[in-house]
Structure 1
Amino acid sequence: MVVANFEASQGESVLFVSPASVNQDALVKAKNTTGDQVGASGKTAFEAMERVAEAPLSKSSYNKIYSNAIPPINSVHTPQVLSRFLSTLIANGTLVLFEPVALEDLDASLCPVTRKEADLVSLLKLTGFVDVNVTSVEPVSDADLAEFVKAWGAVRVEQGVGALSGKLGVARIEVKKPAYEVGQKMTLNFRKKKTAETPAATKKSVWTVSGNDDNGEDELEDEDALLDDDDLVKPSKESLARPDDCEMVDGRRKACKNCTCGRAGMDVEDESDNVVSLDLMEDDDNTSDDVVDVDPTPKEVGGCGSCALGDAFRCSTCPYLGMPAFNPGEKITLGGMFEKDDIDI
């Protein structure tokens, strides 16, 4: 039978974890032995393996945990149990656990223990423990194996012992919790260290400009050498004047079709020649007494040349939009309802 040695220091808190079917005499003996070691300032406690995950264990409250160290040593640690051990231990606390491991590949239908030593070590590291140390792996004797088979609920104990003889061992592993708490915040300093410099060296590095010539002086580029002779010639007024290629009509330059130089806005003809009258509607007797003269001359001249043809031929910015087609100088009469007010007083 595997026998565990319990060690503790003065003032420490120690937790024992075993299955509910633990040997009561062995448990009392372990607690008494450890209680003498921790003294009055320390404490010892026990918790069943089956309820560790839900037990009201305070965080960072135990210096050392002995798990599955009291016979029968037949329980397997789940990831949830190991995570609870990690949170219950104080920073840099120690966990000593015993667990049966398979010495060779075993079928889950034959034995509930299929995890090997390497698998258990990997699980402990993934949980967050450090300094994983496998102190021993002892083969399970047939007498102890019979107790294991009974605890697992097998009916044919002898048949189970014969099938598993020499294939199981008990590993004793000691691990530690990291020296910091889970979720603890730490400040990392990524600032580069400054090298000590003398004041003279610092001043030199700031103000001295090193050159590539032998005298240690920088050679500056001559800005006059960057200009050609043509760059130095002053431009004349004629060369800067805008070319005027507008057509001459009656001694004056007229704006071209689709004028873009701005001359179209300056060509304003006599207003009296561009007055037209609009006669959109006649009276019943085809007579109209009042004539409204409308000056269709726009403030700006359109560039499409189709202003008099009607809206179908006019551009979107034509000043004659909405007016009927007309001939320049034609007088159009507004009659009918346009000669009367809409509101009677």
Structure 2
Amino acid sequence: MSSLDGITLTPGSTVLLLWAGDQMSANMQDVATSISEQVRSGSGGRIQLEHIDRLVMSSHPSSSFDLVISGLVNPFQTQHTTEILGELCRVLKPKGRLYAQELALPSGQNGRKSKDQLMSLLKLSGFVDIADAREVPLNDDEKQELKQSSDTASDVVLYRLGAQKPAYEVGSSSQLKLPFKPKPKPKVDDNVAKVWSLNSSDLMDADVDLVNEDDLLDEDDLKKPDPASLKVDCGGGAKKKKACKNCTCGLAEELDSGKKADTTKTSACGNCYLGDAFRCASCPYLGMPAFKSGEKIALSNRQLKADA
């Protein structure tokens, strides 16, 4: 249970040894001495003992230890929480190793975790390169001690787990250099670009000839349309014309009387006399000036003549 088999101790490394319970076990001194002899053979090597419940309160500086060993002493009283594992990841140096032992149950019950839950906690705490948990064999005295524990089930197993802190400090950041190839600019024909280019000197040049809008109109555009052609065809192009429900063009009266409707224009909404702002798109008064309701529209000679 307290064997250092499988734990690599490098001369000159700093080791944090955690223990649990109300008092140190009888083999505590033997474990600490064995670790100290191996790490102090190199320059700067040291070992520090710490109770697991006082780890967070100790506030060790970040990246203080090369190796952390937990649960090797008094493993039956050792339990690793997310807070403890997160603190261990903080105090470890980048690429530092953690070796932890803890009792676990197959299904995780009675306050004990399962093997998979132990490995999951290590991942959530920031550790990588997590080795598969292996069962630690117990001698007869340790089995008897475990059996006498009232809160321990009969199928409980002691596991040892190994993990490593990432090669970077927790909370550090680094700029990612991603390969980026800019899209090639499309080729533009120089002749086309010149057509659409216009600078301020062109606008101020008195020699620039501007197009006369009147030259864009031909003789047909200047002809006034025949009033008969503007009349709405309510029949929709059918052989026999039919007036629509709300006919305002006079076709309804023409069909009722059998002759052409009176040329007097009538309003469908009653607001046509107010002006174009109140007239619909098919209003017969569209384009005419506002007038008093009921009076006949009379245009002056100036309004009848086109602008010179």
Indicate the TM-score class for this superposition, using the shorter chain for normalisation: 0.5 to 0.7
CA distance in 2, matches of 1:140, 1:80: 28
On the 8 A contact 2:16/2:49 being kept in 1, the answer is yes
| Pair 1:17 & 2:18 matched | yes
TM-score by length of 2: 0.56
> 1:191 aligns to what?
179
| Pair 1:305 & 2:292 matched | yes
Structure 2: tracts of 5 or more residues without a match: 190-214, 228-272, 277-287, 296-308
After TM superposition, give the deviation of residue 36 of structure 1 in Å: 2.6
TM-score by length of 1: 0.51
CA distance in 1, matches of 2:33, 2:137: 29
Q: Indicate the percent of aligned positions where both proteins have the same amino acid.
A: 22
| Pair 1:37 & 2:38 matched | yes
Q: Give CA deviations for 1:69-93 in whole Å, capped at 9, x if unaligned.
A: 1235432211111111111111111
Structure 2 counterpart of 1:3, which letter?
Answer: S
Q: Give CA deviations for 1:33-81 in whole Å, capped at 9, x if unaligned.
A: 2223222512211111122233322211111000011235432211111
Alignment of 1:208-287 (within 5 A): 238-241=219-222, 243=224
Q: Give CA deviations for 1:229-269 in whole Å, capped at 9, x if unaligned.
A: xxxxx9885323262889xxxxxxxxxx8888xxxxxxxxx
Report the CA distance shift for 1:305/1:16 in structure 2 as closer, same or farther (over 3 A). same
After TM superposition, give the deviation of residue 23 of structure 1 in Å: 3.2
Structure 2 counterpart of 1:304, which letter?
Answer: F
CA distance in 1, matches of 2:275, 2:67: 98
Report the CA distance shift for 1:240/1:138 in structure 2 as closer, same or farther (over 3 A). same
Structure 1 counterpart of 2:61, which letter?
Answer: S
CA distance in 2, matches of 1:81, 1:60: 15
> 1:279 aligns to what?
none
Structure 1: tracts of 5 or more residues without a match: 155-159, 195-201, 210-233, 247-256, 261-300, 309-345
Report the CA distance shift for 1:183/1:107 in structure 2 as closer, same or farther (over 3 A). closer
CA distance in 2, matches of 1:20, 1:184: 35
After TM superposition, give the deviation of residue 107 of structure 1 in Å: 4.8
| Pair 1:127 & 2:138 matched | no
Equivalences, count: 210
Alignment of 1:83-232 (within 5 A): 83-102=86-105, 104-105=106-107, 107-108=109-110, 112-113=111-112, 115-134=113-132, 136-140=134-138, 143-148=141-146, 154=150, 164-165=153-154, 167-192=155-180
The higher radius of gyration belongs to: 1
- RMSD value over aligned CA atoms? 3.8
On the 8 A contact 2:104/2:158 being kept in 1, the answer is yes
On the 8 A contact 2:16/2:47 being kept in 1, the answer is yes
Report the CA distance shift for 1:11/1:138 in structure 2 as closer, same or farther (over 3 A). closer
Structure 2 counterpart of 1:169, which letter?
Answer: V
Structure 1 counterpart of 2:4, which letter?
Answer: A
